[in-house]
Amino acid sequence: MTVRTIVRYPAPALATPCKPVATFGPDLATLQQDLVDTMRAAPGVGITAAHIGVFQRVFVLELEPGKILTYVNPEIIKSSTETMRHVEGSVSMPGITEELERPRQVTLRFQDLTGAEHEEIADGFHAVCIQHEIDQLDGIFWIKRLSKLKRDRLIRKWEKAQR
């Protein structure tokens, strides 16, 4: 439908927690399609509504070509004690990546575009992506999960790239 403008780091909007979706219908379906189009154009494997300046708890993932996963009002209800390391980045800070450690598995409760409730267990890369996007919905930009030293280094690299 529409490729939307992505909010870029260090915009204060990226620290804004999102509100739960209360209305399910055509506007939500349009938002979901705009998220998919914007994510693919970025390119990326995931994007939240907050990344395009819409502060609702919605994100999409495309971990396999053509297979779109949509999460409305997602909530992690359980995390494994086992962790894994994976390189992360953001459509709001393209070209900047760093390795983070997160739980290897999560159990997630969420709604779909119709408002129906679901629960799923995600493992590995899928679990990492869910945690990353939910952090953004909570107003936690991914670099906040890094040590101050690594975060400062990435910010300097980003600022240099923006000149």
- Cα 81 to Cα 142: distance, rounded to the nearest angstrom: 20
Q: Of these residues, 88, 101, 133, 159, which one is catalytic?
A: 133
- For the beta carbon of residue 99, count every other beta carbon within 10 angstroms: 10
Q: What is the DSSP string of 41-70?
A: HTT-SEEEGGGGT--BSEEEEEEETTEEEE
Long-range contacts of 62-69 (CB under 8 A, 24+ apart): 62/36, 63/125, 63/126, 63/129, 68/36
**Is beta strand 117-123 parallel, antiparallel or unpaired with respect to 105-111?**
antiparallel
Please confirm, yes or no, whether 99 is among the known catalytic residues. no
Q: Which residues are catalytic?
A: 133
